[in-house]
């Protein structure tokens, strides 16, 4: 359980390009925050800095009480879901979900119990023996969601997780993500969600609040209702 706070965060890429220009934002514990904006506005760069996949040039990122600037991804209490699923092709769904937990040295029993629980929530129990190559995109993304879930992270990070799915799977997987957030809350495991998309429907249906970015700056942060109401 943790707030995520960005304090004057800047990103200058090695080629000198300033992609993120001083972002200040607090995402409350348990909140579902969506970053939207056109391609190139720095959604992904910002998310990757929170994840620890991209260095922070200036400013600080706090997750809970911890300043995470110099922490590797595995020590940040985060789990990330990617556009391309990022599953290991030679491992079964079960092994993909278990992999990170084995590295954390959890007991076989605890690993099995977490995977069982996540698989039931996401309705993927029948897929656990399959390899990613034997699954549809929607099924793969549910496995990736399961892999994030079993880590019981304080913060879930999503980088355009629905963009590779066709229209029908996009809706059903979106519903799974919304349910995941809802279920975790109901179980008292308040996870903070940070979700990047260029799709306004996803932003409106998933976000408690939406942060609109343009050219590496925040243009507006508000609830979907306030943001998209017409005068
Ligand atoms: P978005 O996710 O909103 O599409 P990105 O965060 O991927 O935007 O990129 C933000 C800006 O930073 C873009 O102008 C992009 O071209 C630039 N950019 C991204 N990665 C690099 C890099 N490694 N080196 C230089 N510029 C980059
Ligand atoms: P996305 O918009 O989905 O984040 P991109 O296609 O923009 O993905 O970027 C893919 C990869 O290329 C990323 O690792 C990003 O950092 C890098 N990249 C993007 N733009 C640039 C750029 N202008 N110069 C160098 N690398 C870049």
pLDDT over 80 (residue 96): yes
* Ligand closest to CA 198: 1
45 lines ligand 1 (CB under 6 A): yes
pLDDT over 70 (residue 231): no
User: Mean pLDDT in the chain?
Assistant: 93
Which tens digits make up the pLDDT trace of 101-138? Answer: 999 899 999 999 999 999 998 889 999 999 999 999 88
Contacts of 154 (CB under 8 A, 6+ apart): 1, 2, 63, 64, 77, 78, 191, 192
Instruction: List b or e across 133-145, with b for residues whose CB sees 16 or more CB atoms inside 10 angstroms.
Output: eebebbbbbbbbb
CA of 206 to the centre of ligand 1 (A): 24
Task: Read off the pTM.
Answer: 0.88
The closest-lying atom of ligand 1 relative to the alpha carbon of residue 38 is 3
From residue 143, alpha-carbon distances to 126, 171, 208 in Å are 11, 16, 25
17 lines ligand 1 (CB under 6 A): yes
| Confidence category of residue 167, pLDDT binned at 50, 70, 90 | confident
Residues 1/190, Cβ–Cβ less than 8 Å = yes
Contacts of 146 (CB under 8 A, 6+ apart): 93, 97, 115, 118, 119, 122, 124
């Amino acid at each position: 359980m943790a707030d995520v706070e960005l304090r004057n965060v800047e990103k200058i890429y090695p080629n000198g390009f300033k992609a993120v220009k001083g972002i200040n934002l607090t995402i409350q514990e348990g909140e579902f925050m969506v970053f939207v904006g056109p391609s190139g506005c720095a959604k992904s760069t910002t998310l990757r800095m929170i994840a620890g996949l991209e260095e922070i040039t200036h400013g600080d990122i706090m997750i809970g009480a911890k300043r995470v600037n110099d922490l590797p991804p595995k020590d940040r209490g985060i789990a990330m879901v990617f556009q391309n699923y990022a599953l290991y092709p030679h491992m079964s769904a079960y092994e993909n979900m278990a992999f990170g937990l084995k590295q954390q040295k959890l007991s076989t029993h605890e690993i099995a119990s977490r995977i069982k629980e996540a698989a039931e929530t996401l309705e993927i129990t029948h897929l656990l023996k399959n390899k990613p190559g034997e699954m549809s995109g929607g099924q793969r993304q549910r496995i990736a969601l399961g892999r994030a879930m079993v880590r019981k992270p304080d913060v879930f990070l999503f980088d355009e997780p629905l963009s590779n799915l066709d229209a029908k799977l996009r809706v059903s997987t979106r519903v799974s993500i919304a349910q995941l957030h809802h279920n975790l809350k109901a179980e008292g495991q308040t996870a903070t969600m940070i979700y990047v998309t260029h799709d306004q429907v996803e932003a409106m249906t998933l976000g408690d609040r939406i942060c609109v970015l343009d050219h590496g700056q925040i243009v507006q942060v508000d609830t979907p209702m306030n943001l998209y109401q017409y005068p």
